[in-house]
Amino acid sequence: MDTEYRSHIPARRFAFAGAYTSHSSASVADFLRKVIEVCPFIIDEIQTDNGSEFAEHFESACTSLGLAHFNTHPRSPKENPFIERFNRTISDDFIMLNRPLLRDNVSAFNEKLVDWLIWYNTKRPHELLGMVSPLSYIVSTLTVGECQKYWTRTRC
């Protein structure tokens, strides 16, 4: 699962993904809680497609976390180009190389995926961000006060 997260701060990008054995709203709600925990900035809004996995438990999680949930129009991948591009990148660069592990051991697949995501977010240069990694870009845009605020997950 993956999705795009929007922040109240423009031009912030952070990639997160995980594999689950079930395509349920409970799984997506669990994923949402995990991404909120590790995201280096506060997430105010979330945009998803209209899949059934983004109903029931997921909607409850958005409400309890205070997130505004927006949906793209049906069959409109162009409304979410960043996640579509990330889906292509993660598929080509990671999933295709680790399909047997995904099939046989989802837990081990996710452990290996975490290492890839750390590399992707901290080392891999991104053209859109001026050939720096997403976390390098985020840190370069923060003031000293913001760095402390986001690091400790507190709001003013």
pLDDT in tens, 97-128: 999 999 999 999 999 999 999 998 888 887 77
Residue ranges of domains in the chain: 4-110
Q: In terms of pLDDT, which residue wins out, 105 or 2?
A: 105
Q: What angle do CA 129, 28, 64 make, to 5 degrees?
A: 95
CA-closest candidate to residue 41, choices 146, 116, 156: 146
Q: Find all residues with CB under 8 Å of 140, minimum gap 6, and list them.
A: 132
CATH architecture, domain 4-110: 2-Layer Sandwich (3.30)
Do 7 and 44 touch, CB atoms closer than 8 A?
yes
Residues 88 and 73: their CA atoms lie apart, in Å, by 20
**Res. 24 pLDDT band, cuts 50 70 90:** very high
Q: 4 pairs with which residues across the strands?
A: 47
Residue with tokens 């690091």: 151
Q: What percent of the residues of the chain are helix, what percent strand, and what percent coil, each to the nearest 5?
A: 55, 10, 35
